Amino acid sequence: MTCQDNEILLNNVLIQMSRSFLQYVAESSPWVRAEASSLDDQIQVLAERQRQSVGRIVELLTTREYFIDFGSFPTEYTDLQFLSLQTLIKGLKTSQQKICRQIGVAVESLRTAGDAEGAEVMAQVEIFERDTLQALEEISVELEKPPQPVAS
C-alpha cells in the first residue's frame, strides 16, 4: 500500500463513522417513552463520542495534507424518520458492528503497510467504537424492559 492508499483507507473509515446510522439517528431525534428519555440522552452522548473519534482521523489526515471527503448519509436512512428508538436499535447495533469490523481491517492494513501513526490512531478509535457498540447493547436491553406503570 502506498501512502495515498493509507489516506484513502483512513478517509473511508471517516466517512463510515461521520455518516453512520448512529449519527443519523442522533440528528433525527427518535421517539422514546417518557420514562426512557435518558436512553435518548445516551444516544446523543455516543454520537458525540463518535464525532470526537472522527475528529482524530480528521486531524491525522489534515497533518498529511489530504483532502478530506466527509461523504453523505446513505439514502436508505431517509425512510427511517419518526420511528421509536426501540425500532431503530437493531440497525444501530448492526451499523456499529460494521464500523468496528472496518476499523479492525484498517488497523491491520495500516500496520502491514508500515503506517504506525495511522494504525495507532485507528487502534484508539477502535477501542472507543467497541465501547459504543457495548453501550448500544446495554441500551437495547433497557429498551426491551416493559414500561413501568405510572403511579397515581
CATH number at residue 66: 1.20.1260.10
Give the pLDDT of residue 151. Answer: 62
Q: pLDDT value at position 57?
A: 98
In a domain, 73, yes or no: yes
* Residue 151 within a domain: no
In a domain, 152, yes or no: no
- From CA 12, how far away is CA 101, in angstroms rounded? 13
Q: Model's pTM, two decimal places?
A: 0.90
Is 92 a member of any domain?
Answer: yes
Query: pLDDT grade, residue 150 (50/70/90)?
Result: low
The answer to whether residue 126 sits within a structural domain is: yes
Angle in degrees, CA 90, 141, 74, rounded to 5: 20
DSSP annotation of 99 reads H
What are the tens digits of pLDDT across the range 59-117? 999 999 999 999 999 999 988 877 889 999 999 999 999 999 999 999 999 999 999 99
d(CA 103, CA 90): 20
Domain for residue 38, yes or no? yes
